[in-house]
Structure 1
Amino acid sequence: MGTEGARTDRLGVLLEQFDKATDMARVRLAGLGDEEYLWEPVPGCWSLRRRAEAVTPRAFGPGEWVLDLGAPDIPASEYAEVARQAAGGMSVDKIAEDWSVSVERVEEVLAHTGEPEPDETQVTTIAWRLGHLHYHFAGSWEWTFGERRQDPKLMVDFTPSAGLALERFWATIDRWRDSIATVTEEQLDTVGFSQYPYGSDPDDPYVGVLSGANLEFIHHMAEIALLRDLWRFRFTTSR
């Protein structure tokens, strides 16, 4: 495989990674139907539901269809991130605001020693994972390149139509990619270049924010790909 003309600067590497991930995701999402999109492989899944049928306390969205979301907490997998925030000078009050939890909960996490217990995370549907990615990238664009006014959780009109959801999602991703390509080296090093309100973006250099966005896209698309495989073989597994 030739490397002539390949970019090795920081932005170039991140763009190439994102482009490869989106190319693979487009292939893996081709032919997604409504039934598969909303399939709940186990009881108690988080999914996309009509507002009146939501099963979680913080389900959100601007229209009839909302994404399930449970009570706020700091998962065990993020204890190290909370410790990093505190070590970096973020106050306990600010950390609590960042995670939407009480100061007491942050203090409990910071005082924890040893390995935390594994998280009991919810299984989520393809619709949920795709919706999660959609509002995240729509909100990240708004709070970096847009007017920095809209609540990310109210920016995406979720839909039970897989085809329409994908059409809207890829339009958001294309806009994100076009804007990212314009970022300068100076902006990559700028702390707070993104002001996305759900997370530590305002406190991080933008190169770290971009790296995190790539990771978010890749790991959720991998989960979606696995769910598609399970859907395909759901009635063929021998007992």
Structure 2
Amino acid sequence: MADTTTPDPVTRDVLAAFENARFRLFARMKGMTDAEYRWEPVSDCVSIRPGEGGVFRVATEFPESGPDEPDPFTTIAWRVWHIGSLCLRGYVIHFFDDAPEFGDRLAWPGTAEEGVQALAEDWEHFTSRIAALGDERLLAPIGMGPGGWADESYLKLTLHALKEVNHHGGEIGLLRDLYLRQGA
């Protein structure tokens, strides 16, 4: 869990918002079964699936749809992977000089317990780096990263990560509600 006692007010408040989001999301995932985690309520779900050697991998990194089609439907497992590996871990890899070696970002645990644990680890990697920045660096341009992010601040990146967490976290909660009530 990130240190929210920092004297830097912007960093402290951002970390407090992340802690609130973490508490709500992880509370919603408590007790999730493997069946829920990989539940595919529609026939064309995008998910993680076992591949060579039984290693689960994300099937589609960025699901796309046509202009007149709804976005593809993704499972809880895909959404947990998206928050952890693509967003939080991906931001650490692309925007911090001291990124640890993570290996294959498309590989992800096939069980709910291991997926939630991997998300917790990615969360800690991200928030600990944000905490270490302090307000001055948090508000300054990043100076590196893909897609024009070099001129943006770490605060903008952090708020983008928080938006992704809240967006997909809410979807995870809704999918759990639907799974638990199917056939009721």
Q: 3-state DSSP class of the match of 1:215?
A: helix
- Structure-to-structure mapping, 1:190-209, within 5 angstroms: 190-193=140-143, 195=145, 197=146, 199-209=147-157
**1:144 correspondence with 2:95:** yes
CA distance in 2, matches of 1:131, 1:216: 12
What is the aligned-residue identity percentage?
A: 26
1:71 to 1:163, Cα distance in 2 relative to 1, 3 A: closer
1:191 to 1:72, Cα distance in 2 relative to 1, 3 A: farther
- Return 5+ residue gaps in structure 1 as ranges: 53-62, 77-116
Moved more, 182-191 or 212-221: 182-191
- Return 5+ residue gaps in structure 2 as ranges: none
CA distance in 2, matches of 1:28, 1:44: 25
1:161 to 1:149, Cα distance in 2 relative to 1, 3 A: closer
CA contact (8 A) 2:63 2:72 kept: no
Deviations 1:29-68 (A, max 9, x none): 000111110000111010011237xxxxxxxxxx832212
Deviation at 1:147, TM superposition (A): 4.1
Deviation at 1:70, TM superposition (A): 6.8
Deviation at 1:191, TM superposition (A): 2.1
**Which letter maps to 2:25?**
A
CA contact (8 A) 1:38 1:126 kept: yes
**Which letter maps to 1:130?**
V
CA RMSD of aligned residues (A): 3.1
Larger radius of gyration: 1
Q: 3-state DSSP class of the match of 1:32?
A: coil
Instruction: Report the count of equivalent residues.
Output: 178
Deviation at 1:182, TM superposition (A): 1.6
CA distance in 2, matches of 1:144, 1:220: 22
Partner of 1:120: 70
CA contact (8 A) 1:45 1:123 kept: yes
**TM-score normalised according to structure 1 size:** 0.64
CA contact (8 A) 2:143 2:151 kept: no
Partner of 2:168: 220
Which residue, out of 157, 161, 165, partners 2:107? Answer: 157
Q: 3-state DSSP class of the match of 2:170?
A: helix
Deviation at 1:154, TM superposition (A): 2.3
CA contact (8 A) 1:138 1:156 kept: no
**Which letter maps to 2:79?**
R
**1:69 correspondence with 2:83:** no
